[in-house]
């Protein structure tokens, strides 16, 4: 049952991240096609910074969803500890100062695999945008 719960949350998080990246891709193409975009330091910094902020917001939403799961299952009692624990799992840092019960330990591992996949997906999107910007300059 815990595995199915974790799988559902991973699926929800994947949809959130993919939707975020798809929306950002559309926005990047529209911004680059607009008459306001000029390749150069200021515009490229603004574009990349906006993308990073949006991706971080999407990931924080996912961390919040995992936090809610840990609170709902009774594994973590308060929101600030749940968010802290979730961030530690999502980033695969894994301090170990908060642990899940043996029954629900798989949820922590699933969040870590979810986080590493979402961080990798975000990194690859940033690399894609950087590649486009570099090609425009050469």
Dump pLDDT digits (tens) for 29-66. 888 787 777 778 888 898 899 999 999 999 999 999 99
Any idea which residue has 């043996």 for tokens? 102
Mean pLDDT of 117-131: 95
Domains of the chain: 2-137 (1.10.287)
CA-based nearest residue to 88, from 103, 67, 105, 65: 67
The C-alpha atoms of residue 41 and residue 25 are separated, in whole angstroms, by 20
pLDDT at 4: 96
Taking residues 61-87, report their average pLDDT. Answer: 96
- Give the pLDDT of residue 64: 98
Q: What is the pTM of this model?
A: 0.89
């Amino acid at each position: 049952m815990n595995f199915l719960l974790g799988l559902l949350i991973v699926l929800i998080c994947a949809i959130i991240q993919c939707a975020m990246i798809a929306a950002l891709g559309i926005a990047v193409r529209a911004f680059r096609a607009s008459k306001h975009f000029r390749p150069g330091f200021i515009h490229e910094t603004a574009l990349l910074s906006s993308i990073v902020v949006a991706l971080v917001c999407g990931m924080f939403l996912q961390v919040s969803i995992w936090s809610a799961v840990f609170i709902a299952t009774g594994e973590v009692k308060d929101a600030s500890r749940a968010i802290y624990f979730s961030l530690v799992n999502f980033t695969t840092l894994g301090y170990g100062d908060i642990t899940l019960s043996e029954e629900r330990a798989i949820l922590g591992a699933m969040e870590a695999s979810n986080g590493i996949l979402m961080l990798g997906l975000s990194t690859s999107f940033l690399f894609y945008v950087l590649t486009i910007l570099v090609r425009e300059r050469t």
